Amino acid sequence: MIKLRYFEKEDFDKMILWSPAEEFLVQWSGNTFTYPLTVEQLEAYLNKSNVEGAEQFVFSVLDAETDEMIGHISLAKIDYKNRSGRIGRVLIGNEKYRNKGIGKQMMKEILSFGFDKLNLHRMTLGVYDFNERAIRTYEQIGLVREGLLREVQKVKNQYWNCIEMSMLEHEWKQR
């Protein structure tokens, strides 16, 4: 089991450690950060987050038994008028926790935060089309594919496609 805690400065070193290569950083953060990840980038990311009315909430994912930080997730681009938000920066940084259902738990927690605590109507995310494990997880939870953004991200000499997915509040309540 996991729990979410607001991301803090004490978590910066692990985030930097978990981002050893440009491709990996882009895969979990999109265009949020540039390689190499730095304390300054993380400070700017944390600025104006996690306060009432914020447009962004960023979380550390903790092992519920040990309180060890094992990952990261965020809910950003919050539009309170239209009741929407975007899930992003989904990362299971500690490799020993991968392939154990943690991603599914993380998604359920962030969806609950958005729908149940912030009263959102719609939540979206983007996932690169080669990340089949993440896509399966998102679909199992009930997110719906909305479309494909072709060659939207350039990484070195390659272009990556991004699948857009979403969930609406009535779909969350029906699960």
The percentage of residues in the chain with a pLDDT greater than 70, rounded to a whole number, is 100
pTM: 0.96
Q: Output the pLDDT for position 40.
A: 97
Structural domains in the chain (count): 1
**What's 150's domain CATH number?**
3.40.630.30
- Mean per-residue pLDDT over the chain, rounded: 97
Mean pLDDT of 45-63: 96
> pLDDT band at residue 170, thresholds of 50, 70 and 90?
very high
Q: Which of 175, 162, 12 is nearest to 107 (CA)?
A: 175
Residues 172 and 115 sit within 8 Å (Cβ to Cβ): yes
Domain hosting residue 30, numbered range? 2-174
In the predicted structure, residue 118 carries a pLDDT above the cut 90: yes
Q: Output the pLDDT for position 117.
A: 97
Per DSSP, the residues of the chain read -EEEEE--GGGHHHHHHT--SHHHHHHHHTTS--SSP-HHHHHHHHTT-SSTT-S-EEEEEEETTT--EEEEEEEEEEETTTTEEEEEEEEE-SGGGTTTTHHHHHHHHHHHIIIIIS--SEEEEEEETT-HHHHHHHHHHT-EEEEEEEEEEEETTEEEEEEEEEEEHHHHHH-
pLDDT digits (tens, 9 = 90+) for 66-112: 999 999 999 999 999 999 999 999 999 999 999 999 999 999 999 99
Mean pLDDT of 123-132: 98
Mean pLDDT of 142-156: 97
Mean pLDDT of 42-69: 96
> pLDDT band at residue 48, thresholds of 50, 70 and 90?
confident
Mean pLDDT of 110-115: 98
Residue 66 buriedness (CB in 10 A; 0-12 / 13-18 / 19+) = exposed
In the predicted structure, residue 38 carries a pLDDT above the cut 90: yes
Mean pLDDT of 139-167: 97
